[in-house]
């Protein structure tokens, strides 16, 4: 199928790495190499970075987090970052350069969580690891120099889906307060029935076949699309989103996740949650990696602006 990609992005499509999900461990190793080559050496000037093990969910292993503390603190606020990767790949390195940028340019503490991955650790393990990290940030707010009432959550793709689920879980458990949820191209719906999900079977980076592998890994084979999938696994199934923190939702034009992101934003609005929705034209899932493109620069600048406004920095 031919797609009307942004003219600054289109030339990069043939150059994108071809990563198969048939062998998930191999895909993880390949992506580590690809990200390292793309990112290069990250300049952490002005930001202290350290890794720490924190208590995991009851009966589960400790969770590794990476803490970014800027030399210049603009506000006693924090961002909890949840990386993407379809629930099955990815680690703290995916968002490393971005988290350094958030900490340095916003002047707030950033905590990134290295949650367990499916299929070895399916739902609810990744989400519970994220909840453990949120709880840890809130409990250790004083040591981190953070106001526990000024914690935002940020995630892209599966990370966006986990953030949406985290907001629901914190609401329903009476857990730590979340000031704001940033849901970038979120993966939310296991039913795979939206028009964009049905249409985009060969789009770069993410498409319906990959979504099938992702959800089968996260929920277990034969579970996706069934009647018993909880809203904390697939937040698109939630009808009542009232009481959730204000949200920003981004979607890409030629992304199978496009329509579920739009629908979730609409449900948030219908539930009385202040929500900003932005569709970036001519883009696909992960096209922001083409950093020189004007639309990618706009997306990156908007992320900073949205988080700065939400955290009041």
Among all residues, which ones are annotated catalytic? 157, 255, 285
Phi and psi at residue 70, in whole multiples of 5°?
-75, 150
Q: How many helices (H) and strands (E) does the chain have?
A: 9, 8
Q: Which residues of 41-50 are buried (b: 16+ CB within 10 A; e: fewer)?
A: eeeeeebebe
Give the gyration radius of the chain's Cα atoms.
18
Give Dmax (Cα) for the chain: 53
Smallest Cα–Cα separation from 79: which of 176, 181, 162, 193?
Answer: 181
Beta strand ranges found along the chain (DSSP E): 47-54, 63-70, 78-82, 109-114, 151-156, 180-184, 247-254, 275-284
């Amino acid at each position: 199928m031919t797609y009307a990609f942004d003219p600054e992005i289109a030339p990069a499509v043939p150059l994108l790495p071809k990563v198969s999900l048939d062998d998930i461990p191999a895909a993880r190793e390949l992506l580590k190499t690809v990200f390292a080559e793309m990112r290069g050496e990250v300049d952490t000037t002005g930001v202290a970075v350290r890794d720490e093990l924190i208590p995991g969910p009851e009966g589960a292993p400790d969770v590794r987090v990476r803490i970014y503390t800027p030399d210049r603190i603009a506000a006693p606020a924090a961002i909890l970052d949840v990386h993407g990767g379809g629930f099955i790949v990815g680690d703290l390195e995916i968002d490393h350069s971005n988290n350094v940028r958030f900490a340095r340019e916003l002047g707030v503490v950033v905590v990134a969580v290295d949650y367990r991955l499916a299929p070895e650790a399916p739902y609810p393990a990744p989400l519970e690891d994220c909840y453990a990290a949120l709880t840890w940030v809130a409990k250790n707010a004083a040591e981190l120099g953070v106001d526990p009432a000024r914690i935002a959550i940020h995630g892209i793709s599966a990370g966006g889906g986990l953030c949406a689920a985290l907001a629901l879980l914190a609401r329903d458990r009476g857990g730590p307060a979340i000031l704001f949820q940033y849901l970038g191209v979120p993966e939310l719906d296991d039913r795979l029935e939206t028009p964009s999900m049905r249409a985009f079977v060969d789009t770069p980076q993410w498409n319906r076949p990959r979504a099938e592998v992702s959800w089968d890994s996260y929920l277990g084979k034969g579970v996706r699309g069934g009647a018993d999938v909880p809203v904390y696994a697939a937040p698109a199934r939630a009808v009542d989103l009232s009481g959730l923190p204000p949200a920003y939702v981004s979607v890409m034009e030629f992304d199978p996740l496009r329509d579920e992101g739009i629908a979730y934003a609409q449900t948030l609005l219908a539930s009385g949650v202040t929500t900003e929705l932005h569709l970036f034209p001519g883009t696909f899932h992960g096209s922001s990696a083409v950093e020189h493109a004007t639309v990618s620069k706009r997306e990156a600048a908007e992320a900073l602006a949205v988080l700065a406004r939400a955290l009041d920095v």
